[in-house]
Amino acid sequence: GEQMPVSQFVGPDIVDGAPAEGVAEVYTNQRSTAYSASATAKGASGRRLTYGTVAVNPDIIPYGSLLYITSDDGQFVYGYAYAADTGHAFIDLYYETYEESVDNAVIPVTVYVLDDETAAKYQEANDAILEADTTVGR
């Protein structure tokens, strides 16, 4: 069956494990590392670090890019995420607890980078998700 994503952010429908539209770049077999961040931590972009935010090399993937991330074998789905910080691996995935970051320490992933036009379609919905997340228990 389909794996539940870690992130609550939204984007195009997923068909056969990939976004159905708007994919500008695909990076396969990339090393991801897992990190946890405090509830008030912010990345280099100024965005709060939580589920659905990731650290990248901004020379390859610009801050603010909407991404879709899954393990190469499809067994793990991080889901839609925003490039929000500078990373050490190809991509660093943020989790809200240390235990989760240990459980997902290093995973080979496929990263789909969505084009700006497609990402813009989901910006308002994702901003509302982030706003709701910051008001719940934080």
Under 8 Å between Cβ of 49 and 94:
yes
90 membership: H or E segment, kind and range: none
Residue 27 in tokens: 């990076």
- Check residue 12 and give its pLDDT: 97
Give the tens place of pLDDT for each residue, 64-121: 999 999 998 888 899 999 999 998 778 998 888 888 888 888 889 999 999 999 999 9
Q: Which residues contact 60 (CB under 8 A, 6 or more apart)?
A: none
Q: Which residue type occupies 138?
A: R
Q: In the structure, what pLDDT confidence band is assigned to residue 26 with cuts at 50, 70 and 90?
A: very high
Q: Is the dihedral of CA 122, 128, 130, 132 positive or negative?
A: negative
| Beta-bridge partner residues of 34 | 93
Distance of CA 110 to the CA centre of its chain: 11
Under 8 Å between Cβ of 95 and 41:
no
